[in-house]
Structure 1
Amino acid sequence: MADGGFSAIAYGYGPIESYGYLAGADAKNLYENLQIFDANTQLQKSDVCVGEATGFTVVLPFQPFRLIWTVDGNEEAAIDNPIHNGTEVINGVQVYKYNYGSSIQFNQVGTHQIKATVFNPNASGCDPRQEIVTDFEVFALPKSDFLPSTLQTCVGTAITFTDKSISNGKNISKWYWNFDDGSNIPPKRNAEPFDHIYTSPGDYYVTLMVETESGCSSPVSDPIKITVNKLPEAKFNFTVPGCETIPITFTDESIPNEWMIIKWNWDFGDVNSVTGNLNTSSLQHPIHTFSMPGTYRVTLTVETDKGCIAVLPQDVIINKLPVIPDFKIPDACSSDAAVKFINTSVNTITGLRYMWEFGDPGSGAQNTSSNEHGEHQYTSAGDYTVKFTVITPAGCSLTTTRPFRVNGNTPVADFDVLEPDNLCSNREILVKDNSSIAGFDRITRLEWYIDGMLVAEIQNPVLNDTYPLNYPAFSTPLSRPVQIKLVAFSGAVDGPCQNPKEKNITLHAVPVLQFDALSSVCLNAGEIPIKVPVIGDVQGEGVFSGPGISTSGSFDPRIAGVGTWNLSYTFTGSNGCTDTKSQSITVKPIPKVNIESDVYAFVDGTVQVKASTTESGLQFKWFPSKGLSRDDILNPVITADEDRLYTLTVTSPLSCGETFYLRLHALKDIVSPNAFSPNGDNVNDVWKLNYLESYPNSTVSVFNRYGEKVFFSHGYSIPFDGNYKGKPLPVGTYYYIISPGNGKKSVTGSLTLIR
């Protein structure tokens, strides 16, 4: 309940219509009001649309004896004792409803007024007249309009529809779309663009009607024709079987269904594609080569001149090729029995099939074979072409073609032995082939025998070529008769087309040397005699050669030098046959040490040996060890007691040794010069006390004639130079005290300084 009247609109959802009604009335007269309704739907509403049939009802809690309607100020004739159109009980109160005589269409937009003047027979006052007034708005109708993204599309391709309607008043709240395809589209609640997809081809007429918040509906828009084209059907075929590295032709078999296909896009799904063999193509019938076996997803996309697209992915199986066929070309002549072609191919694929074509069409059905190894009998000499094809179970095949000759004549074998009078058993026997054959035929094979043993086989020999043959060397007897045989072939080895030739020669014995391995030696090992025994009956002389060795076999390591050297011994027999043997010998270096030959020290004094080496891993041994701090190091400290000769033996990691000598001179007294001249001429510029360093604890003091100490030194590493406190001392006589520092008596005396 409210203090005053108000209007409300209830909106239906889905297919339910919306409607408006008067929701409130004055609390003072709840049961008296004017109602507006749609004359067609009989639904109450608060607003009115231009051109809409509108009805009015006055609701009263009594039956008036007179009713006067006034529309927009136009009062109509009074109706006496009007007959109500219905009754209703509201909150226990009987009310009566009186309709305006007929529906009204308002064509003017704006505010309008309806007034019912009623006369109450039971008025409480003196005037029975009562006025019930309602103001309402008449709104213009909205205008529906829209814009499709295209007027022509394809089945399954979305079209975007954009609303262009004009509200002409209150906002549009509903959009009623009709796509003419039987689709049940509920009213849209907003004007956002949206897509629609047609699933069948044809012409469709799309319309739109809109409705505002006031319930005013637009007329249905003019229809817009949308043409939906048929999709093409993508189809293709390809050559089979598909084999790696073999070009495959793809044939487009697509059906346009409507209009014409103008574009083809192929994707071969081949990640191994390279320049010149791309993974894509825009040709209608492309060719592509797959480099690896496997299953490839090939996709064809076709497009018509109307932009309709169809896509077809299809798996293409690419099979592995067999290994390139290979076979041996046999030797053959027309007199041979069946010629055999041996298949030398090695395949990991099982279930292979084979096809031989022997190039002999005159043989009829015998010209081909499906065996793994070919076999055919040629009855005529000539040149033929043999084809060998290997086929996998998937149908992938490779073919090898080779020329083949069938000879018609038997060769004549002949040869010469070169230098027949100088044949030693350890040398190659050189033979020159002089075999021949008539006509265009050729010799296919030579076999060389020595004493019936096959020693050489020559396939497809060169005419008049020379060949080396070898016979086992022997040292006894002095000579041996040998037979050489040549067999020339123009056909199969076991066939009739062959001819032999034999010749006898004499081979001479050769000296056999026994040159044993040589042990390594040290550089200082001295001369070493080398001996090489000769085995057999051959007499003659031998000569040595190589670094550091004389012709008679004396090897001097110092001449050869450090390193590994090859020494050879050649023995020449009286029959002219020779033998040479070689062995290597390694000369190892000796240790290198720099050491002084003499050292000086006062008796009971010490001195360290000054010696050095750049080598590592050396071992040292001194003899004798007397007076040494250690006898197994390079630089021992010697305590002097008497003159002595020391021997140092140095051994390298290669077990090579070298000896060095050091002489110790033991001095019994300190010898001090009685004068020196520090004048800068580098002669006697300091007072030199030789070998005093052998007394490391010695002290030296020098005094002037007044007893003032002008020099002092502990040890004597820096000699007295005639200066005191950085200034030259005057010429004169000075006095010294030298204390050995080891308990021995000090040495004293005078010293003259001369400049």
Structure 2
Amino acid sequence: MKRCLFQGLYLLLLLLFPVFKCYCQDRLYVVNGTDLGYVDVSNDTYTKMVSLPYLFEDLAITPGGKFYGIYSGAIFEINPTTGVCTLITLTNTVGFSFGNSLVSDRNGDLYVAGDNNLYKIDMTARTIYFLGKMQYPSGGDLCFSDGRLYVATNTNLLLEITLDAARTKIVAQRNAGQMTVKGNVYGIGCNQYGICYVISTLSELALVDLQDATTYIIANPVSGPMAQVNGIAMTDEGKNDKDIEICGNGIDDDHNGLIDDADMACRLKRGACTTESKELFREDFGTGTGFGDALTGLSSAAYQFTNTSPQREGFYSIINNPQLAKGDNTWKSMPDHTGQPNGRMLVINGSVIPGEFYRKKFSGICGGQQYALSFSACSVISPTLSCGANTVPIPSRVRLQIADDNGNILGEIPERYIPVDPNPAGSWKSYGFLFTLPPNLSSFQVILLDDAPGGCGNDLAIDDIILSTCKPVVPILINKIPVNKYTGCVGSSIEFSVDLTGLTFAKPVYQWQKFDTPSATWKNITGGTGATYTLGSAQLTDAGQYQVLITDNTTGSCVGGAQSEIVDLTMKTAPVLTVTAAMTICSGNQLQLQATTTDVPTSAVWKGPDGTNYTGLNAVVTTSAATKNTGDYILNFTSSSGCTIIATTNVTVKDGSNIDFTLSASQVCIGKTLSLQATGIVADGNYTWSAAGSPTITGPHTLTPQFSWNTPGVYAIQLAVPNVCIGNGQITHSVTVNGVPAPGVVSFNPGVCQDDTMSIIVSGAGDASIQWRIGGSPVITGTGDHVIVKWSATGIYPVAYTLTGSCGTLAVNVPQPVIVHPLPTVSLGRDTIICHDAQFFIQPVVSEGVNSYSWQDGPFGSKAGWLATAPSTVKIKVKNQWGCIATSSIKLGEMHCGCDVYVPTAFSPNGDGRNDLFRPVVYCAASKYYFQVFNRWGQLIFSSHNPGEGWNGMVGGRRAEVGGYLWMLEYENPEQPGIIRKTGTFTLIL
């Protein structure tokens, strides 16, 4: 079954009919060269929709149905009906200049990748954000599945990206694997069920397992005029952008009120139980020939039961031979999982829409403990079935959901794809999930769904669904860090502990064990019965394997237990650590301790002579040393393997001298002289002067040198004296050398409406004063680098200003003039009176360039007329192509006219002598008669003051087009003075 979302176009001027477009959930919309089209996955056929003006790199569709494309680093909105592309202007760039991959999220915001960069575009604020660097360059497309973002890289690798809950940065990346298709993958897309499609540049259509990038070619090639697919989008692609729990970060990422291991999302995984277990339930579907009975407890949205062949898509059966259900040899003739005579199994014919096929409620369950759900599955597709050359039938996929008694989903996870196997008798394989229930849950539901797409394939058999307890395997921590292998140092302290997060024990009992190699058995460690076990001063003989067994010292039906992972402990001697034995520094300088090692320490802490601790191998004690900092600094070093080493550095701090120098001024103009005066020096020549900016120095070996510069800037002047303890070995002061004022950067909007204001800002002009010279005699408010300007006359006006600084003046003529656009004009005519219970159509008279209208203070739109039905004051605002606005209004009174007027609703000026003229019939001696006819764009095409004269259907000597037109009539009733206006529409036919 295909489901479509229909989108309607608005009715235009009450003369156009609505047009609808169908977008279906099993269509892959693609950029195919310079065409926009779609691939229907139900028949693997491409259909062109419209030609595009650009060769877009990728395509995205928002939940609201808007199409966007990326071309040459710019985002365009695409009209999928006309192919018209509108540039989206962003308010910033944050370094964004290139992108070849695009996808929409659930909010209609866009994600863009280019090279190794990932960005997010807020489509409401039109702002782009940088999210981080990707491990591999993007090849051409992005998609969301189960809350994670996937990238097709430039080498056909599939990269999985996890974002933080706020979608502001990348928090994790995983190389899922290599997609094996012919050509490059520039198009990848996921539907709302997390099923991922790719189309290669050689027109191969495939499904991709997002766990390891296993690729299933389901069409080769796609039928139709395919060129090169540069992007895929699906109408519901954003629905798989969902909040996901990032386990272990202490944040409720998926906003369900649960954090980390308290969340079912962190308690559910694929896998089989490998520890002690006890079977609680088994569903083997019984035995018997032919069809069995329907399953009970399925939801109303589940697959339907059938006991007749041929079994159709979206139906399941309980039967001892799948071929009997299908009624032909496209399905296998095969036994159930155990091979028992006439053993029945659950057989599913997958649909396009995912469907529930099994649901079971369990009660009296122990919360807080781990369980295993396993099942056996086998494709029923016969190996003789062909879905096309060089293709495979669509594989099946099972999704597990854990729900509470009310059907609320606590967690879900999909299995890997179940492909067709070549064995005519079927090759059963076991699949399974492990999950830990919340502590307060004693009953729950298990739900199994088939969420792969229908078509040629996705038909499978399920057997032996088993629920069992499963003693959990918990991680071991060494020195509070979870590890499977650990290298310790001789003499260090090694603490073993265990992480029981997510498990519930009333009175846990621990027994630590070490593996005894000679006997090949685990032996209890004497005294190792606490939550932690510590080797106080580990030796080489302590190397080996360790584990811990946990039981619950309680009674009742829910007694939990667990066993730890095995950790390998390796022992070694301590690493080499080198420190500086002694160091001398001047007071006022930075004191930084120094140590080096080939190891990566877990801790390095120096203790100073006053007992203060400083962290890091090269810790900074102070940025301004004093004699009080003299003394021994002791380093306590802990290596990556837990070794502790002690080392010492002796520090001597010498007092500094009072040498300094002064400047005759803090600022100087280029070419002018700056005088310096050194102090604290007893004789000339025992020092060195230097400065940046290549100055000319007069008297370089005197106490009073002079400097001058030819280039403006801020320059450091240094005085160095040998064998004297001064800061950093030299005294430094800075001077600012000014030139003529810098021109600065002027910014303003180059266009403004008449009688509107605009800001003109100059930045980077420093302290210079500004005198403005602006053409057009505008009104200027404000002073300095920011003025507000308003022009009363239209035109193109130059902008200039003069900068005056301490070192001269500079006149600046801005190359970009200001264009003052004219205001539009609009008139609704004179106030008038309309007949009681009559309609009056108001057609404004506007100036050229008006393109949008606002009636009665409403939003601007393309509606150029207003239909009044009662006395009122009608107001209008119009806007031209420059955004300039004008207003008008008309007051409508009301009267009982007493003079009937008849105006036809259609006429046919075809020369047959019947209805060849369009004119009103007034049943009274009306005066001040004025009759007008307008086309649908509001242009006057006929008028007359003669009551007997009508329009013959000609415009400019040519026959007018068939269609709708507007008429307007003014007249005065002889019985009651005052102009009466009436309007209406009619149709010209032939």
TM-score where L is the length of structure 1: 0.24
Larger Rg: 1
TM-score where L is the length of structure 2: 0.20
